[in-house]
Amino acid sequence: MTDTSSDVADVLRFHERLEARNRILNPLSEAKLDLLGRICVPGEGARVLDLASGKGEMLCRWARDLGVRGTGVDLSPVFVADARARAEETGVAARVEFVEQDATSYEAGAGSFDVVSCLGATWIGSGLAGTLELMAPALAEGGTMLVGEVFWHGEPSQGALEAHGMARGDYADLAGTVERIAAAGFETVEAVLASPDDWDRYMGPQWWAGHAWLRANPGHPDEEAMRAFLRRGHDAYLRFGRAEMGWGVFVLRR
């Protein structure tokens, strides 16, 4: 997907509104986020770097429940403010920090994190391989990387590609995704995948929030663009995404 910088700013702003009712900005339930922590956090005091950390739910939960220390990096001031508030609310503000920055320019100390993650934002490295390359320097010897990625349940229809603004080849099927990970030098040692219900629980609150925003902001300069964005997303999911698109977190070792 190629975007001008104003398109990117629009999409980010629209997403900030649509995600108003979600804590996890991906089709992953709280229970699966907890499961992921039990799978990959090596123990109390483990250091976690989360690129594109959104509202910080993963780091806050893992700090509260598993005793990790963490850094989240995200471009959105709205999401970073929510993440800091969530850290206060969960009592972990001394263990996690949230940095408002483009993750591609964040300089983490080499080898200084036991877990390095990027859940649902592989465009930051222009795709899966580039994002793994971006994440890898921060990983400590023997550490674990987590990448959240879209995959197709089979060969995507032309309608699905057009509705999601994707090119054939931007994403692979599940086995193909694991092959791409292997080609980038990593082994997939575990995976936690979204169910159809996880997807519905991710998308439904976005529709609610989008319609609530439109009702609360009649005459706003964004009104028509926001309505069209909401409608396109709704349509793409119901016609194609729900049947054809998967999402999962892949747990990787070098």
Ligand X SMILES: C[S@@+](CC[C@H](N)C(=O)[O-])C[C@H]1O[C@@H](n2cnc3c(N)ncnc32)[C@H](O)[C@@H]1O
Contact residues toward ligand X (CB under 6 A) are 12, 24-26, 52-55, 57, 73-76, 79, 102-104, 119-121, 124
Nearer to ligand X, 108 or 119 (CB): 119
If 0-12 CB within 10 Å is exposed, 13-18 middle and 19+ buried, where does residue 49 land?
buried
Classify 218 in phi/psi space as left (phi over 0), alpha (psi -120 to 50) or beta: beta
Q: Which is nearer to ligand X, 202 or 213 (CB)?
A: 202
- Please state the closest distance from residue 119 (CB atom) to ligand X, in A: 4
Q: Is 150 exposed, middle or buried (0-12, 13-18, 19+ CB in 10 A)?
A: buried
38 or 224, CB closer to ligand X? 38
Instruction: Tell me how far, at minimum, the Cβ of 153 lies from ligand X, in Å.
Output: 20
The least distance separating ligand X from the CB of residue 97, rounded to whole angstroms, comes to: 15
CA count, 13 A, side-chain hemisphere, 51: 30
CA distance 118 to 148: 6
Complex with ligand X: residue 104 or 157, whichever CB lies closer: 104
Q: How far apart are CA 52 and CA 225, in angstroms?
A: 25
Instruction: Say how far apart CA 243 and CA 119 lie, in whole Å.
Output: 21
Q: Which residue sits closest to ligand X, CB atoms considered?
A: 54
Decide whether 80 or 160 has the Cβ nearer to ligand X: 80
Q: How far is the CB of 56 from ligand X (least distance, A)?
A: 8
At closest approach, how far in Å is the CB of 24 from ligand X? 5
Contact partners, residue 215, CB within 8 Å, separation at least 6:
none
Query: Half-sphere exposure (CA, 13 Å, Cβ side) for 64?
Result: 16
